[in-house]
């Protein structure tokens, strides 16, 4: 079908509280931003679109005006309305301009599952629990209970460090991870991203050097870069960060901290061996630096158990531990916590205070009950069971459809598979081709400060993809790759990591 | 009574979900932090305290251990347990060390009404709506309605810029302030403090120069300082910032932005005249800089109306407007918004994203309904009526009890009175004396980067003081001042500003 025909297919909901013209505005904006409508494409006449969508002409006029006000379209007198070339750079063109911060930000949004996704898209981009598994009813009842119990106090200013009973609950449940601490060493935060921001404010001065895994989480790179830090990227191997290169960099630089995700690393999915964990700690102590441990989705292991967090192996002084509740629970809640060595008490509390004073008191109180009643624990067990099945389905279909020239390590948990592509196809091209066929993936570039390094890699997440889409999506990707990779025999490709 | 006796009087609640030992720990910690227990004071023996509080000895032992772990107390073998001198610097001593960041942070907490306040204290420190006026029941019903309407979507990842229907509601209600904008120019944020943090991330590089009013909000100084900005303080007069000094500084420096609170400024309570507003805008345009307008509690005017916000006088390009919903509503909600010129779209959205991805989707959805149903408007009218009465009560008692040597301007709205003290008494001394008598005030130093400038000033807020305490509190303060100010005739004191 003609691409402009897509406009006639947009979904509007006449029962929504959202005005119709805003709905139309948003849908057309998304078509432009996704590169589906290209530069200078002619939009349908107002009368025709109004009649096809069965709305008033004024509604369409208002939507077009808003698009024009925001630079998405322009009109030519007596001729019609067109997509503005400024906004409609084709997606592929955008990706080739990979230094473009705005576009990189789009990917970051995608990395968090935030991009405007066609409702029929097969989503291998989203990276947190699928909404169908949110424990909405239980949580709703707890909210009502808290409002009846605490009344106005739930809405007053909260202690900046976090609601004390919640910090106690956190301390108790950390015991199960082998982490023993006190409520005074816990800072409640509004999501793990804020944790990275707070740690940066507390510890980094302009020009300080830090070490990150390469590749690493795009949102971490963004926050460290904006703080003016010099970021040194040390490659990860299948059992954790390359400790020889790590030591080389520690020896030759004064490093403020090392940022790592030891379990089911984002994006590679690899986990640190116990030896690597111990070696990392030893090096951090030897060179008198700190480790920021981001316990990304550590609860989501598919074996019998997993290795201990670094924080559990630490004497309490070397590791700042960040754990999100949002990612495996309800990401829109924005709730996480930090465990920090006592000596950083002032810096961490002050950084939280200047960031947003405190995290929502209502959410803290409700989540405290959720932990106290063991609901968190049973929720996690449930989620683990569901995702273990999805994980198996991924592996079956990867074996079936992915050409053997595409290399990957088998993750032990988490949501992510990380692939190295064969010669002849790079990840921005694959991203664009897949998008056109309705499959969303994340190209590797967003996980490196030097994005050229990412051209060989893609990440697939199965957090938000529907069970019934897994086979279709992987088959499509496999076909695109087969079609474009160098046909000559590929010899002795090195293993991925 | 002996000060140690205070420990026997602490309140514990055996029905609370909070463990008893934590309750005891907290209460004793507060006594130490408030300077009520002094350095090396001996704590009661475990057996005696357990029996007086009617709890198990193990409970007291656990509380003492936690105090010890956190450095509040130390023990001497065979002798007993003592308050650690490190934590127990007397409050007055703390104030004299006014460069001490930790202590300044304590004041900042107090500025937001967060300090651990004795339950019988007369609180002229807290600076946002008193919890008794929170519309808890209405809000609770809206939460239930939203959870039934939106289910899991209320908890999924939200658009980083903010829930679109809420941005539309905000745009509609801004029309009443004379501000005309679009949902694309609105960024939803987790409280006004986060607004300052985001603006700093978006606009400030290390070493950039900015201008603030002097005195100004402590939380703003903290966030600008931590971003490495050079902060130039320009005095406010009774009708707004000193525009001659402002122009002098604009002429001689490249200024990134000017941070102002044109209505009921914090801490001085002054409001900008229309002329000053226009002059400020003219200067900002002339010197090609930006204005950050913090609409602190602009809705709380006690006359018939108030001047237009700067944003309403702007052509859309010069002013970034920050408005909090928390302060006059429910501060623990953490909800506010920014209106920004289109050219900063990428910077603002990116700064929000790296700060905490998004603001709680549930709270955004509920507040959207609250605005749409005109509940916000009627809440504000109600609050204005209540505080107008409190305001009159403040004035009556100030006239009755405050020596005429204490100077102040009459605010036209808001929560704050700002006083200049007569010779012979400085604000840190007055703070300490008042605290000992159970009256909390904020000494001027926290509102200046050079805290020595603040020694002449104090701020009284009537946001959270109980009606029946106003007379008693002001009488006490008046008496302390009369007792200590220079008795010699004070001639021709200049007016306050």
Percentage of residues of chain A with pLDDT beyond 70:
90
The secondary structure element, H or E, covering residue B99 is none
Q: Which of A18, A105, A134 sits opposite B165 (nearest CB)?
A: A18
CATH of domain A93-132+378-484: 3.90.1150.10
Interface check for B66 against chain A (CB to CB < 8 A): the answer is: yes
Query: What's the pLDDT at A488?
Result: 56
Query: What's the pLDDT at B197?
Result: 97
The secondary structure element, H or E, covering residue B210 is strand B209-214
Q: What is the pLDDT of residues A446-489, one digit of tens each?
A: 999 887 888 899 999 999 999 999 999 999 999 999 998 876 54
Report the complex ipTM. Answer: 0.73
Residue B159 C-alpha, separation from nearest chain A C-alpha, in angstroms: 6
Query: What's the pLDDT at A3?
Result: 64
Interface check for A66 against chain B (CB to CB < 8 A): the answer is: yes
Interface check for B359 against chain A (CB to CB < 8 A): the answer is: yes
B57-61, B337-341, B421-425, B469-473, range with the lowest pLDDT: B57-61
* Chain B residues closer than 8 Å to A131 by CB: 152-153, 155-156
CB contact under 8 A, B354 and A147: no
Query: What's the pLDDT at B2?
Result: 60
B/e letters for A343-376, b = 16+ CB within 10 Å, e = fewer, are ebbebbbbbbbbbbbbbbbbbbbbbbbbbbeebb
Interface check for B354 against chain A (CB to CB < 8 A): the answer is: yes
* Chain A residues closer than 8 Å to B222 by CB: 350, 353-354
Mean pLDDT of chain A: 87
Residue A330 C-alpha, separation from nearest chain B C-alpha, in angstroms: 5
What are the sequence ranges of the domains in chain A? 5-88, 93-132+378-484, 152-374
Q: What is the pLDDT of residues A347-386, one digit of tens each?
A: 999 999 999 999 999 999 999 999 999 999 999 999 999 9
Coil/strand/helix, residue A351: helix
Which two tokens mark B198? Answer: 């985001």
Torsions phi, psi of A282, nearest 5?
-60, -45
Interface check for B274 against chain A (CB to CB < 8 A): the answer is: no
* Chain B residues closer than 8 Å to A342 by CB: 70-71
Which two tokens mark A310? Answer: 């670094």
Torsions phi, psi of A120, nearest 5?
-100, 5
Query: What's the pLDDT at B104?
Result: 36
Q: Does A80 or B497 have the greater pLDDT score?
A: A80
Residue A479 C-alpha, separation from nearest chain B C-alpha, in angstroms: 32
Which of these, B338, B169, B316, lies nearest to A69 by C-alpha position?
B316
Residue B202 C-alpha, separation from nearest chain A C-alpha, in angstroms: 9
Q: Which of B219, B350, B354 sits opposite A197 (nearest CB)?
A: B354
Interface check for A136 against chain B (CB to CB < 8 A): the answer is: yes
The secondary structure element, H or E, covering residue B304 is none
Percentage of residues of chain B with pLDDT beyond 70:
90
Q: What is the pLDDT of residues A383-421, one digit of tens each?
A: 999 999 999 999 999 999 999 999 998 999 999 999 999
* Chain A residues closer than 8 Å to B113 by CB: 157
| Topology of domain A5-88, CATH | Arc Repressor Mutant, subunit A (1.10.10)
Report the distance separating Cα A89 and Cα A87, nearest Å. 6
The secondary structure element, H or E, covering residue A391 is helix A375-401
Which of these, A305, A301, A237, lies nearest to A275 by C-alpha position?
A237
Q: Which residues lie across from B337 on neighbouring strands?
A: B188, B323
Report the distance separating Cα B67 and Cα B124, nearest Å. 30
Q: Which of A102, A191, A358 sits opposite B356 (nearest CB)?
A: A191
Interface check for B123 against chain A (CB to CB < 8 A): the answer is: no
Interface check for A151 against chain B (CB to CB < 8 A): the answer is: yes
Tell me yes or no: is domain B152-373 CATH 3.30.420.40.
Answer: no
Query: What's the pLDDT at B485?
Result: 87
Query: What's the pLDDT at A180?
Result: 94
Q: What is the pLDDT of residues B178-237, one digit of tens each?
A: 999 999 999 999 999 999 999 999 999 989 999 999 999 999 999 999 899 999 999 999
Q: What is the average per-residue pLDDT within A426-436?
A: 90
* Chain A residues closer than 8 Å to B372 by CB: 17
DSSP states of B39-62 as a string?
A: TTPBPPPHHHHHHHHT--HHHHHH
* Chain A residues closer than 8 Å to B155 by CB: 131, 134, 136, 139, 330-333
Query: What's the pLDDT at B497?
Result: 57
Answer yes or no: are the C-beta atoms of A302 and A413 closer than 8 Å. yes
CB contact under 8 A, B332 and A158: yes
Interface check for A359 against chain B (CB to CB < 8 A): the answer is: yes
**B68: Cα separation from own chain's centroid:** 31
In this prediction, residue B100 has a pLDDT band, given cuts at 50, 70 and 90, of very low
Helices B361-372 and B136-150 cross at an angle (nearest 10°) of 110
Interface check for A180 against chain B (CB to CB < 8 A): the answer is: no
**B187: Cα separation from own chain's centroid:** 22
Q: Whose structure tokens read 């480790």?
A: A291
| Topology of domain A152-374, CATH | 3.40.640
CB contact under 8 A, B350 and A105: yes
Query: What's the pLDDT at A119?
Result: 57
CB < 8 Å from B in window 439-458 of A: none
CB < 8 Å from B in window 302-341 of A: 330-334
DSSP states of A300-312 as a string?
A: -BSSS--PPPHHH
Q: What is the pLDDT of residues A202-211, one digit of tens each?
A: 999 989 999 9
Which of these, A420, A47, A377, A376, lies nearest to A269 by C-alpha position?
A420
């Amino acid at each position: 079908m003609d691409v402009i025909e897509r406009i006639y297919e947009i979904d509007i909901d006449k029962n929504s509280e959202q005005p119709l013209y805003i709905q139309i505005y948003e849908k057309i904006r998304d078509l432009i931003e996704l590169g589906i409508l290209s530069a200078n494409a002619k939009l349908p006449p107002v009368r025709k679109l109004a009649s096809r969508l069965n709305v008033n002409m004024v509604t369409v006029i208002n939507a077009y005006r808003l698009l024009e006000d925001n630079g998405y379209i322009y009109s030519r007198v007596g001729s019609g309305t067109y997509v503005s070339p400024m906004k409609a750079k084709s997606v592929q063109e955008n990706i080739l301009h990979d230094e473009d911060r705005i576009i990189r930000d789009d990917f970051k949004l995608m990395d968090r599952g935030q991009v405007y996704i066609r409702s029929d898209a097969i989503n291998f981009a989203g990276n947190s629990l699928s909404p169908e598994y949110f424990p909405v009813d239980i949580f709703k009842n707890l909210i009502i209970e808290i409002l009846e119990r605490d009344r106005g106090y739930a809405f007053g200013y909260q202690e900046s460090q976090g609601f004390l009973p919640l910090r106690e609950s956190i301390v108790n449940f950390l015991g199960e991870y082998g982490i023993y601490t006190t409520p005074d060493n816990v800072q409640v935060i509004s999501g793990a991203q804020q944790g990275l921001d707070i740690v940066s404010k507390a510890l980094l001065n302009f020009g300080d050097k830090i070490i990150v895994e390469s590749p690493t989480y795009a949102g971490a790179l963004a926050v460290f870069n904006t703080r003016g830090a010099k970021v040194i990227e040390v490659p990860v191997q299948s059992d954790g960060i390359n400790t020889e290169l790590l030591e080389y960099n520690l020896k030759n630089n004064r490093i403020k901290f090392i940022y790592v995700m030891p379990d089911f690393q984002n994006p590679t999915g690899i986990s640190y061996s116990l030896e690597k964990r111990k070696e990392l700690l030893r090096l951090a102590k030897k060179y008198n630096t700190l480790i920021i441990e981001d316990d990304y989705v550590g609860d989501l292991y598919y074996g019998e158990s997993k290795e201990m967090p670094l924080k559990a192996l630490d004497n309490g002084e070397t590791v700042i531990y960040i754990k999100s509740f949002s990612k495996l629970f309800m990401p829109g809640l924005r709730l996480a916590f930090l465990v920090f060595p006592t000596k950083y008490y002032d810096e961490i509390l002050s950084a939280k205070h200047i960031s947003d004073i405190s995290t929502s008191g209502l959410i803290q109180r409700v989540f405290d009950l959720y932990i106290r009643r063991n609901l968190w624990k049973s929720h996690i067990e449930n989620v683990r069971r569901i995702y273990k099945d999805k994980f198996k389905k991924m592996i079956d279909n990867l074996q079936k459809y992915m050409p053997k020239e595409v290399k990957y390590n088998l993750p032990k948990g988490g949501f992510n598979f990380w692939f190295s592509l064969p010669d002849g196809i790079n990840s921005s091209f694959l991203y664009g081709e897949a998008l056109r066929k309705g499959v969303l993936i994340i190209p590797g570039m967003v996980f490196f400060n030097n994005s050229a390094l990412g051209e060989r890699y893609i990440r697939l997440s199965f957090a938000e993809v529907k069970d019934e889409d897994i086979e279709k999506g992987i088959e499509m990707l496999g076909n695109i790759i087969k079609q474009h990779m160098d046909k000559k025999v590929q010899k002795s490709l090195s293993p991925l990591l």
